[in-house]
Amino acid sequence: MKKIKGLLLISTLAVSIFLYGCGASNAVKGGVIGGASGGVVGGVIGHYAGNTALGAIIGAAVGGTAGVLIGNHMDKQAAEMKKDMSGAEIERVGEGIKITFDSGILFATNSTTLESAAKTNIQKFAAILNKYPDTNILVTGYTDSDGTDEYNQTLSERRAEAVSNYAAAQGVSSSRLSIVGFGESNPVASNDTATGKRQNRRVEIAVFANEKLKAAAENGQLN
């Protein structure tokens, strides 16, 4: 499992910001970012764009006919996830899948110990990932604004790590898994209300093609 911190490639980021500002299509964004640096830097770009999981998916995109084939492959996985996993929001995005867990479902308040219902969800998630081995998985953690920046940063990292470790314990190869914590950054709702804070306490996961899957798609060998 890889822990990602402090990555920044200025040229790639500049290109990506330009593309976002110009309203380029996801295929174009993905092609430029993916060609420059792959999914990991895509995740960093996603952080600056406001959504790390989405950034990882954009960063891994290949576009064209191969991208369509990868998207079809992801459709099957997403359909299984929607069918089998409760308590998670499953979104098909571009050439990948974005999964959002409410941290209240995964963990008790201020805890990094997975709840029993969370373990059941991750077991089902891992079973699907093991059926489709040619993907990478980025697990990201977020908190609300309560507490210090340092505490929230550590809490977000440990929660992402807990989810990743449990998936690995279910047979998902640790080489496929990366984690990153962003503390209270990138809120999806206001931290001025209890409801908003609950929405901000979350774990987001990106599932996207690895190099083997991309090569199979580009060579027309992906069913």
The strand pairing partners of 101, in sequence order, are 88, 203
Q: Give residue 1's pLDDT.
A: 65
Task: At 72, list the tokens.
Answer: 């079809």
What gap in Å lies between CA 195 and CA 94, rounded to an integer?
A: 29
Mean pLDDT, range 18-34, rounded to an integer: 37
Contact between residue 208 and residue 96 where contact means Cβ atoms under 8 Å apart = yes
Q: Give residue 101's pLDDT.
A: 87
pLDDT tens, residue by residue, 130-146: 999 999 999 999 998 99
Of all residues in the chain, the percent with pLDDT exceeding 70 is 77
The strand pairing partners of 141, in sequence order, are 181, 203
What are the structural domains of the chain? 2-218 (3.30.1330.60)
Q: Give residue 2's pLDDT.
A: 57
pLDDT higher than 90, residue 46: no
Task: At 210, list the tokens.
Answer: 């690895």
According to the per-residue pLDDT averaged within each range, which of 41-50, 102-111, 168-177 is highest?
168-177
pTM metric for this prediction: 0.77
